[in-house]
Structure 1
Amino acid sequence: METLGPGTACYLVSEANGTRSREVVTIAQGQTLLPGAVLGKVTTSGEYTAVNPSSDDGSQTAVAVLFAAVDSTAAAHAAVITARDAEVAAHELAWPAGTTTPQKTAALAQLAAVGIVAR
């Protein structure tokens, strides 16, 4: 019997018409991410990675949410993100292990600043 993880866009409550809320981006190598993963953007490469509040490479700022699961362990991988104009279910967001409640609160405020509102 196979155990299934969270489904594609499981976090999404609503988004703008068409694909206005979405972008296709590159997920940095070395990660396995679930739908709903909160993402930061590495300034030097422009690649997206799981938000890392203790980093100083740009990924410390939450800017997007991953639409579908991505395995980029072997190489960087294209993926769809929710980048703007969306409501998301806070309880469906995926956070890196060890992310504290204050860090999550700060990241949710950062997402709200780009138009992604957690409910």
Structure 2
Amino acid sequence: MTRSYSGYVQDEQLRFVGEHHPILGPIALKSSGSEQTLAAGTVLGRVTADGLYVQLDPAAEDGSQAAARILAETTVVPASGNEAANGYRHGEFYDSGLTWPDGIDAAKKQTAIDELEAQGVYVV
């Protein structure tokens, strides 16, 4: 069965977007100084100082250690400058289809899942 929520869920999202209607909104992804590709379904944290999003980093102390959004589409972030994208801020998402930081342990992953749930982003 192919789901489509007003065109927001494309083929690449079918692996991680659940049955509960998702809500997404515009976000800005922060450049890391080298070009990087973030896959749809990447769990994101938000840097407190500038409000920009990066891949969740449980070891960070800049705000990005707290899970905040899930990236809606695969996005190339340039080496310099930031990149506009869309991030899910509500809905149901399959853990098996999400992209978590390499090496995240079970306790930190559960903390991130709890942080997302507190915002209406449910990981199942």
| Aligned mate of 1:61, from 59, 66, 70 | 66
| Letter paired with 1:100 | D
Q: Say which SS state the counterpart of residue 86 (structure 2) adopts.
A: strand
Correspondence for 2:93: 88
Query: Residues 98 and 27 (structure 1 numbering): CA distance in 2 closer, same or farther, change over 3 Å?
Result: same
Q: Which runs of 4+ in 1 moved over 2 A?
A: none
Correspondence for 1:11: 16
**How far is the alpha carbon of 1:14 from its aligned partner?**
3.2
TM-score norm. by structure 1 comes to: 0.84
Correspondence for 1:98: 103
* Residues 25 and 47, structure 1, Cα contact 8 Å, conserved in 2: yes
Q: Say which SS state the counterpart of residue 92 (structure 2) adopts.
A: strand
**How far is the alpha carbon of 1:95 from its aligned partner?**
1.0
Q: Using the alignment, how far apart are the partners of 2:68 and 2:75 within structure 1?
A: 17
Note the alpha carbon deviations across 1:30-72, whole angstroms, 9 max, x for none: 3321111000100111100001111111101001100001111
Q: Using the alignment, how far apart are the partners of 1:76 and 1:58 within structure 2?
A: 17
Give % identity.
Answer: 28
Q: Unaligned 5+ residue runs, structure 2?
A: 1-10
Note the alpha carbon deviations across 1:2-55, whole angstroms, 9 max, x for none: xxxx82453111344xxx711101001133211110001001111000011111
* Residues 10 and 35, structure 1, Cα contact 8 Å, conserved in 2: no
Q: Using the alignment, how far apart are the partners of 1:55 and 1:14 within structure 2?
A: 32
Q: Using the alignment, how far apart are the partners of 1:9 and 1:45 within structure 2?
A: 31
TM-score norm. by structure 2 comes to: 0.81
Moved more, 50-59 or 71-80: 71-80
| Aligned mate of 1:27, from 22, 29, 47 | 29
How many positions carry a matched residue from both structures?
110
